[in-house]
């Protein structure tokens, strides 16, 4: 793994993260007062070695965001094929670590990290590789980010495996790039009603808007008309959930805040917080995850809804 030019010293890392240790005290006018316990947050979408970020930097990032539990989503095995766009999509097009790396990291930090299982769907060993890590305790299959039809035989074998192991499937929807056939996906939701699917990425969020016509526009701006295809999937299928992560999620939350308030209320049991950001700060304008948390806290209609989005929904879906 390459080491990023940006790095934190061990001393600075320990100093900055020590403030998050439960049971710490604050001195107020000479008296020691117990620190208020922070409300837990589950991050369902994070990657190891994301754009050369070191393990230490990723730990710092998650602690800065106040994450109690993170789920590491692995990349599939590197291969040059049509489904990886001749290697462009290897490492989830982000240099993300593979199954073994996520598993070993989660084992080392078992109180704070869980892991998923993944592989390139049309490889001959796709299913055995994914099943190997499901047997080791993977809690999700994904992030499935490959150039392949969403209803192909290869993808359906993955859905069948998810059904057998009772784990969700997290899919990256990106027009003409990853998981082709978003408009047909209802057929899979109906065919596999016992599989919980989590939608993510540009095409997923763009299609909140009923008036979104040009699918090549991945980060649309302006007002959102209620009733888009994404909302139909969330409303009509009990096994469809939404991941709020990444720049696409942040864009969707903030482009029309009046819509967002109503959206978060109507789908309060279906949406889950994820960060999916590669920065090292864990806060501020360069961190999508921290901005998404702020947007949820500001736009959720009630405190109860906020806690569902940041914690309770993920806890229930992943049976934590």
Domain boundaries, the chain: 40-317
Residue 26: φ, ψ to 5°: -115, 140
Q: How confident is the model at residue 29 (pLDDT cuts 50, 70, 90)?
A: very low
Cα separation, 134 vs 106, in Å, equals 14
pLDDT of residue 38: 80
Quick: pLDDT tens for 158-210: 999 999 999 999 999 999 999 999 999 999 999 999 999 999 999 999 999 99
Q: Nearest 5°: CA angle at 206, between 203 and 208?
A: 115
40-317: what CATH class? alpha beta
Cα separation, 72 vs 105, in Å, equals 9
pLDDT of residue 37: 52
Cα separation, 226 vs 190, in Å, equals 23
């Amino acid at each position: 793994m390459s080491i990023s030019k940006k790095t934190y010293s061990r001393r600075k890392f320990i100093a900055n993260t020590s403030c998050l240790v439960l049971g710490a005290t604050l001195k107020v006018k000479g008296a020691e007062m117990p620190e208020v316990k922070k409300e837990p947050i589950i991050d369902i979408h994070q990657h190891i070695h994301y754009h050369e970020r070191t393990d230490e930097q990723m730990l710092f990032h998650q602690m800065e965001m106040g994450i109690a539990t993170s789920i590491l989503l692995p990349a599939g095995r590197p291969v040059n094929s049509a489904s990886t766009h001749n290697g462009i999509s290897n490492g989830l097009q982000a240099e993300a670590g593979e199954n073994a790396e996520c598993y070993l990291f989660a084992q080392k930090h078992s109180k704070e990290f869980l892991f998923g299982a993944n592989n390139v769907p049309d490889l001959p060993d796709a299913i055995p590789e994914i099943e190997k890590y499901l047997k080791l305790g993977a809690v999700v299959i994904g992030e499935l980010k490959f150039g392949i039809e969403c209803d192909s035989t290869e993808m359906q074998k993955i859905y069948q495996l998810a059904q057998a192991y009772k784990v969700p499937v997290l899919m990256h929807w990106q027009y003409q790039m990853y998981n082709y056939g978003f408009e047909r996906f209802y057929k899979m939701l109906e065919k596999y009603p016992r599989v919980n699917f989590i939608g993510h990425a540009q095409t997923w969020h763009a299609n909140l808007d009923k008036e979104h016509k040009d699918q090549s526009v991945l980060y649309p701006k302006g007002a959102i008309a209620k009733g888009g295809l994404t909302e139909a999937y969330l409303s009509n299928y009990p096994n469809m959930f939404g991941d709020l992560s990444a720049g696409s999620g942040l864009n969707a939350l903030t482009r029309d805040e009046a819509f967002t308030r109503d959206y978060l209320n109507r789908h309060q049991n279906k949406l889950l917080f994820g960060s999916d950001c590669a920065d090292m700060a864990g806060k501020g304008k360069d961190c999508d995850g921290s901005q998404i948390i702020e947007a949820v806290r500001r736009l959720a209609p009630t405190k109860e809804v906020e806690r569902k989005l940041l914690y309770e929904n993920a806890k229930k879906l992943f049976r934590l």
